[in-house]
Structure 1
Amino acid sequence: MSLAPRLDLRQSQSLVMTPQLQQAIKLLTLSNLEIETFIGDALEANPLLEMGEIPRAERSGSDDGDAPETPREERESDTLIAEGAAESDAPTDLSAAEMEIDRDTGDGSWGAADGFGGEDEGLGIDQHGGAALSLSEYLHAQVGAAGRDDREIFIARAIIERLDEAGYLGEPLREIADTLGIPLAEAERALELVQTLDPAGVGARNLAECLAIQAREADRYDPCMARLIDNLELVARGEVARLQKLCNVDAEDFAEMLAELRGYDPRPGLTFGEQGGSAVVPDILISPATDGGWRIALNEATLPRLVVNRPYLVELRDGCRDRTSRAWLKEKLEDARWLIRALDQRQKTILAVASEIVTQQQGFFLHGVSHLRPLTLKQVAEKIEMHESTVSRVTSNKFLHCPRGTFDLKYFFTSGVGGGEDGEGASAEAVKARIKALTDAEDPKAILSDDKLVDLLKAEGFDIARRTVAKYREAMGIGSSVQRRRAKKLAAIG
């Protein structure tokens, strides 16, 4: 057998991710607000696209709330993606009849009430929280007027820049003094200046100092309060008798001191961090229907509508004299039609998934989290006859608003725990909700252990192990029975 180089021709088939397919997959994953940005870029890139208005008649749904029938094949995103990828390679006819075809993104609603989710309904992008003043900027604005001289103000500004988001100074003061090349006494005076600024408690080096600053601001820092703040570890352990003895006060005074201490903010700087956040804008809106069902609609306040600008298309067509210009116009028209079809299909796919989630989790929408059922992406995919990956993409970065609040779509997909009477078990979220309800309602004199919680849950049909109860309890930030006993004891005193 001889080895020698040679040339061969072979034919093979393979799947290729075309640009249209990649775009369709991307559109499924984006939220409505991200779609708005994407459409803005598309409008700049394609002169044949323009924003369209939603006619009042199209926005109005039927009074009975029934969803209009959509053929199953039209809801198949996988089929549309393949169809769009194939059509994108075909020549586009620029006849007058073709240009009269003007498909748009639709109103994106199933049985929506009149005006539901329109311009005056739902949450808009302009309702997002604006940029707020940061903690550092707020403190810098005050320190200029509070400082005694320019040198002290300079050192105080250097300290402000070293505060963390909670308002604490994590770097040792001596290291700051060495870095600035100043005596430690000057750094201490500058820190005292920072600690006089609003909000009270900023510039503290630990929790005790933070609470002491706030107590001084409230004119409550007497020797008894000082001893209470110096023994915060005893407060955490709930050693009431020992604390009363250390503070040398009776039960009534101690309860008053403890209530005062609870009123202080252990992280004063976080107030500014929270103001900079933005509200969650839901993508899907759910409301009760008159027939006892549910109306499901996309939030049109954040969902632009695209159409092809036909007058401009006719004008460009008449001006295209050479072959290159007509080829460019064909490409832009096909891109515009493909994007409109893809957005239309995205809306139908989202509504199909949302409708199935509402059907599967009917108990949650009627009665709350305790009736949340175990649900997987595969179950929804089989019901709506789509691929599991498509459902996964649709539920990413999407939020649903209903009378019970706003929820991430992923929230409705939970694993099953134990085995109930129906054989399908209970949702993990339902078990967590029940554990929280039991611990919140427990008697301070009869705190429930994990074993007791297991027995109570089993009596209600939740067959789960003790380690599962402990895991869920810790995940929700609920302390052990010993920790809860101390906390409720302190709460009873306050």
Structure 2
Amino acid sequence: MIGQRLEIRQGQGLVITPQLQQAIKLLQLSNLELEEFVEAELERNPLLQRDEPEGEGPEAPVSVSDAAPDGEMSFGDGVGQDSVASMDAGSDDVYGDAAPGERTSDRMTDEAQPGLSDWSSAGKGGQVFEGDGERPDAHELTLWEHLQAQASSAGLSAADHAIALTLIDATDEGGYLRGEMAEFADRLGVSLDRIEAVVAVCQGFEPTGIMARSVPECLKLQLIERNRFDPAMGALLDHLDLLARRDLAGLKKICGVDGEDLAEMIAELKALTPRPGAGFGGEPAQTVVPDVHVRPDPAGGWRVELNADTLPRLLIDKRYHGLVQAGARSDTEKTFVAECAAQASWLVKSLDQRAKTILKVSSEIVRQQDAFLAFGVEFLRPLNLKTVADAIGMHESTVSRVTSNKYVSTPRGVFELKFFFTAAIQSVDGASTHSAEAVRHRIKTMIDGEGVGGDVLSDDRIVEILKEAGIDIARRTVAKYREALRIPSSVERRRMLKTG
């Protein structure tokens, strides 16, 4: 019988609120992206402001975020997982399975991070003028500005000057002209011959070799300027692939020269510049600023610290909040003030939990890979997201977000957190595994030592040596690792050793 009735059912479900979505988004942002996000929030929310040290005092705004209260963690003898777990005591996990409860909180934290080395102060050089010292506002001339200035003084017609500017815009940072000439001709509505004529003019600009369309053409322009281009050199430029393979016998036959002449021609090529535009300013390179520092602990083990320079320090101005709240008259104004206060409180809480989560994940990675830090890449252990997630009681997706675009500085260099997650290669006895990164390093070390003994190892021989060391690996895997390391085959390496 079909009918209607009212039923009450109880169930559990995860509600992804906008605040929780924001917390998840913050977790996967890099420190540069986080800085941009915080700047936008500071402009949008009048109750938020940065923590300025000179503003501290009895009447200063109350700090609601100064990174994770536990700003560092040590790993040494007798330090176990309890130290990691205690970090979250008394703090709600905004990345947990439950939706957040109350969004407003009066619990304030005002603990400063321990002093860390400033890894973000790497200077960017500008132009220096004699007698004036450094000019902070000096502008480093870019390659495109340099070429545009030469095009303006090249005596070109208005139409040819416009063509030249279009071609300059299509020139990459290395100084090479990218794109099909026929496409330029079709887009600009001119003949291909006219495009080629303007290209010839532009290729006369400084530095020599600029706006070439290939490496051989770039080298040819430089040789012509030095009056060193002849048919033999042209044949050599046409067969640079043989030079890369060190096939000197084939080059001597093609170029029609003897060994001494070929050696001189190769020496001349080595004196040229394959990237003529590399000496000019371009887009400023972003320096990698680590999110976490790992340092030796005097008591033994490793000390893991958050980089305070990458953590936003935000305040909620409670006095201003009280003023605007008291002055609000309409329901719209009161709603706006309440939303700003709630969003500011949630943002601060999310930033605080983000810092704690990064510290927790990084600390577990350090604990798992302490042998790498102590002894080198050969001791890098196989590690996956699930292992770390299970150890710290988090979901794999959370660990994945934490390790994306996050960097850690160690005594062995700066690495992305994802570097420490490597595939496992089975041992011969099947009882243990080896890190793929460690195996790659072992292969590179064996090949680097070939010149000493004069013996060149084939991929099959490398497989045999690794199996003798207890590593079960296929020949095609060795070839894949060798190619990823940009190491030539044994045949090419043997030829390179013979030619010196």
TM exceeding 0.5:
yes
> Aligned pair in 2 of structure 1 residues 134, 423: CA closer, same or farther (>3 Å)?
farther
The aligned counterpart of 2:37 is: 38
The aligned counterpart of 2:471 is: 462
The aligned counterpart of 1:452 is: 461
TM-score, normalised on structure 1?
A: 0.80
Q: Distance in 2 between matches of 1:370 and 1:322?
A: 68
The aligned counterpart of 2:25 is: 26
2:192 pairs with 1:193:
no
Are the counterparts in 2 of residues 46 and 336 from structure 1 also a CA contact under 8 Å? yes
Give the alignment partner of residue 390 of structure 1, picking from 375, 398, 401: 398
Once the two structures are TM-superposed, the CA of residue 196 in structure 1 deviates from its matched residue by: 1.7
Deviations 1:207-263 (A, max 9, x none): 322221122234433554334324434424433234345556554443232133134
Q: Distance in 2 between matches of 1:436 and 1:38?
A: 42
Are the counterparts in 2 of residues 244 and 254 from structure 1 also a CA contact under 8 Å? yes
Deviations 1:430-487 (A, max 9, x none): 1112222222332395322110111222233322111211121222222322233344
2:116 pairs with 1:116:
yes
Are the counterparts in 1 of residues 294 and 408 from structure 2 also a CA contact under 8 Å? yes
Q: Distance in 1 between matches of 2:153 and 2:329?
A: 71
1:262 partner amino acid: K
> Aligned pair in 2 of structure 1 residues 404, 180: CA closer, same or farther (>3 Å)?
same
Once the two structures are TM-superposed, the CA of residue 413 in structure 1 deviates from its matched residue by: 0.6
2:290 pairs with 1:291:
no
Q: Distance in 1 between matches of 2:148 and 2:460?
A: 54
TM-score, normalised on structure 2?
A: 0.79
> Aligned pair in 2 of structure 1 residues 443, 234: CA closer, same or farther (>3 Å)?
same
Q: Secondary structure at the match of 2:229?
A: coil
The aligned counterpart of 1:49 is: 48
Q: Secondary structure at the match of 1:401?
A: strand
Deviations 1:77-132 (A, max 9, x none): 746756772213xxx6xxxxx86x4335x546xxx4xx214xxx121599699997
Q: How many residue pairs align between the two structures?
A: 470
Q: What are the equivalent positions in structure 2 for 1:257-336 lying under 5 Å apart?
A: 257-269=265-277, 275-319=283-327, 328-336=336-344
> Aligned pair in 2 of structure 1 residues 6, 24: CA closer, same or farther (>3 Å)?
same
Q: Secondary structure at the match of 1:85?
A: coil
Once the two structures are TM-superposed, the CA of residue 349 in structure 1 deviates from its matched residue by: 1.0
Q: Secondary structure at the match of 2:89?
A: helix
2:481 pairs with 1:472:
yes
2:83 pairs with 1:74:
no
Instruction: Name stretches of at least 5 consecutive residues in structure 2 with no aligned partner.
Output: 57-65, 127-137
The aligned counterpart of 1:438 is: 446
Identity fraction in percent: 44
> Aligned pair in 2 of structure 1 residues 169, 31: CA closer, same or farther (>3 Å)?
closer
> Aligned pair in 2 of structure 1 residues 465, 151: CA closer, same or farther (>3 Å)?
same
Are the counterparts in 1 of residues 74 and 302 from structure 2 also a CA contact under 8 Å? no
The aligned counterpart of 2:494 is: 485
Q: Distance in 2 between matches of 1:20 and 1:370?
A: 43
> Aligned pair in 2 of structure 1 residues 155, 400: CA closer, same or farther (>3 Å)?
same
2:236 partner amino acid: L
Q: CA RMSD in A?
A: 4.0
Q: Which moved more, 1:166-175 or 1:297-306?
A: 166-175
Q: Distance in 1 between matches of 2:139 and 2:6?
A: 64
The aligned counterpart of 1:102 is: 108
Q: Secondary structure at the match of 1:336?
A: helix
Q: Distance in 1 between matches of 2:284 and 2:205?
A: 21
The aligned counterpart of 1:87 is: 102
The aligned counterpart of 1:95 is: none
The aligned counterpart of 2:219 is: 211
Q: Secondary structure at the match of 1:146?
A: coil
1:299 partner amino acid: N
Once the two structures are TM-superposed, the CA of residue 412 in structure 1 deviates from its matched residue by: 0.6
1:440 partner amino acid: D
